[in-house]
């Protein structure tokens, strides 16, 4: 049985990954979270016995060391972080503490002979990008804000531990990901919530700024393939979707899909300014996935359905049970 630790495993991407990994009975998944933004409702079904939850702060060495000693994980996904534009801008010192988390995880992975560590970095490392699309090897890093700088330095920590101690690593640079469990701190969830309640859909000026959005099932399928098929060892990979949409058009699309009467209102740009374009080069990711990505309209429809059907019950991570979605990936493994 493979012992897999996921930090931030009660959050949006971490819990979706946990749900997919526990669907494979060959895994035992240890979920660590301090519940800053994560929720216990996101944890896997209690009927499944191949997982455990530890309430711990990864930035505190002693706490996370206990978890490594107790479970001796073989693989580690370090996804815990302070996230969200407003939260990270309002709490820069808290964001900087995540550098400790990356150091703690890297050190413990070396001393406990972990077979590979996977780190959740971000497209924010490209900052206001020098080129479009952003490529892993050639687009310069332009990290200025604390969140982006922490992601950059954490990448450096994992690469350096890889070089110095032979710790195999993979760095995921996630671009905007969306799905049923994402909080309304993020744009798609926020617009859907506004459209469902009839509140104005608020778009930061100018509205022509574009973003790309990757549906959670594509993100998780890419991660699973990289893990099970032992791909991208000691590499950095963009995980995203390269279809661009202007923010105003996104608001209109969501309004139409939901059939909402909400008004679309342009609000001032953020004081740090709006990045006008962000789009990943996904050549590496598509060479692994080898299938079309989920269309934005379908993803929005799935989230709306999951939210309206959940009626206060925990929200499922995926449109279908994970074993149905990812069965072929589980079979292809050569761990
Ligand atoms: N969602 C995206 O579009 C996106 C884009 C780029 C990068 N990322 C990165 O992916 C990872 C997951 O993001 P998400 O969208 O699922 O966010 P999330 O807020 O849903 O998940 C983060 C989780 O980490 C936990 N956490 C935070 N600090 C912790 C600590 N010190 N110790 C233990 N747990 C802690 C939170 O409680 C939460 O459950 C993060 O590292 C984030 O920076 C996400």
Q: Is the CB of 176 under 6 A from ligand 1?
A: yes
H-only helix segments in the chain: 12-22, 61-71, 85-90, 92-96, 98-111, 146-165, 187-197, 216-228, 247-258, 283-289, 296-310, 322-331
pLDDT of residue 335: 56
Residue 314 lies in a domain: no
Q: Is the CB of 184 under 6 A from ligand 1?
A: no
- Determine, yes or no, domain membership for 23: yes
172 falls within a domain: yes
Note if the pTM is more than 0.95.
Answer: yes
Distance, in Å, from the CA atom of 301 to the CA atom of 303, rounded to the nearest integer, reads 6
Whether residue 247 lies inside any domain: the answer is: no
Among 156-160, 220-224, 237-241, 330-334, the range scoring the smallest mean pLDDT is 330-334
Which stretches of 166-243 are DSSP H helices? 187-197, 216-228
* Cβ(11) – ligand 1 distance below 6 Å: yes
In a domain, 300, yes or no: no
Residue of the nearest CA to atom 25 in ligand 1? 8
Q: First-to-last CA distance in the chain?
A: 10
Nearest CA to ligand 1 atom 13: 13
pLDDT-based confidence at residue 275 (cuts at 50, 70, 90)? confident
Ligand 1 centroid to Cα of residue 78, in Å, is 9
In a domain, 269, yes or no: no
Specify whether the backbone of 175 is left (phi greater than 0), alpha (psi in -120 to 50) or beta. Answer: beta
Q: pLDDT-based confidence at 331, cuts 50/70/90?
A: confident
Give the model's confidence band at 332: pLDDT under 50 very low, under 70 low, under 90 confident, else very high: confident
Q: Which residues are annotated as catalytic? A: 147
Round the average pLDDT of the chain to a whole number and report it: 95
CATH label of the domain that carries residue 6: 3.40.50.720
pLDDT higher than 60, residue 334: no
Write the pLDDT tens digit of every residue in 119-141: 999 999 999 889 999 999 999 99
Q: Could you report the per-residue pLDDT of 283-324, keeping only the tens digit for each?
A: 999 999 999 999 999 999 999 999 999 988 999 999 999 999
Provide the sign of the torsion angle of the four alpha carbons 80, 83, 87, 90, taken in this order. positive
The ligand 1 atom nearest the CA atom of 98? 31
Structural domains counted in the chain:
1
How many whole angstroms from 36 Cα to the centroid of ligand 1? Answer: 9
Q: Could you tell me if residue 206 is inside a domain?
A: no
Q: Which domain holds residue 85?
A: 2-177+214-241+280-294+321-331
| 185 within some domain | no
SS3 content of the chain, % helix, strand, coil (to 5): 40, 20, 40
Percent of the chain residues past pLDDT 90, beyond the cut: 92
Q: How confident is the model at residue 86 (pLDDT cuts 50, 70, 90)?
A: confident
Q: What is the tens place of the pLDDT at every residue in 94-112?
A: 999 999 999 999 999 999 9
Residue 272 above 80 pLDDT?
Answer: no
Q: Is the CB of 4 under 6 A from ligand 1?
A: no
């Amino acid at each position: 049985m493979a012992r897999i630790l996921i930090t931030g495993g009660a959050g949006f991407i971490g819990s979706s990954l946990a749900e997919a990994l526990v669907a494979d009975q060959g895994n035992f998944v240890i979920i660590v979270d301090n519940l800053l933004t994560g929720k216990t409702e996101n944890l896997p079904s209690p009927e499944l016995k191949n997982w455990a939850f530890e309430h711990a702060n990864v930035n505190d060495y002693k706490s996370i060391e206990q978890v490594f000693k107790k479970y001796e994980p073989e693989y580690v996904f370090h996804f815990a972080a302070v996230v969200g534009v407003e939260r990270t801008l309002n709490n820069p010192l808290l964001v900087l503490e995540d550098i400790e988390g990356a150091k703690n995880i890297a050190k413990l992975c070396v001393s406990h002979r972990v077979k590979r560590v996977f780190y959740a970095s971000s497209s924010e490392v490209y900052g206001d990008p020098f080129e479009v699309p952003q490529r892993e090897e050639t687009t310069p890093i332009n990290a200025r804000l604390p969140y982006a700088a922490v992601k950059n330095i954490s990448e450096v920590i994992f690469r350096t531990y890889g070089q110095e101690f032979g710790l195999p690593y993979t760095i995921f640079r996630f671009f905007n990901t969306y799905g049923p469990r994402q909080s309304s701190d993020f744009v798609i969830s926020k617009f859907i919530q506004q459209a469902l309640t009839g509140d104005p859909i608020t778009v930061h000026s100018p509205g022509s700024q574009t973003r790309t959005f990757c549906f959670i099932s594509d993100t998780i399928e890419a991660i699973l393939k990289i893990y099970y098929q032992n791909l991208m060892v000691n590499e950095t990979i963009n995980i995203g979707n390269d279809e661009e949409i202007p923010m105003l058009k996104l608001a209109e699309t969501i309004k139409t899909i939901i059939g909402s009467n909400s008004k679309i209102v342009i609000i001032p740009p953020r004081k740090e300014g709006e990045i006008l374009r962000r789009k990943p080069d996904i050549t590496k990711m598509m060479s692994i996935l080898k299938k079309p990505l989920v269309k934005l309209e379908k993803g929005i429809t799935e989230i709306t359905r999951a939210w309206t059907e959940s009626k206060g019950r925990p929200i499922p991570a995926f449109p279908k049970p994970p074993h149905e979605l990812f069965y072929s990936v589980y079979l292809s493994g050569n761990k």
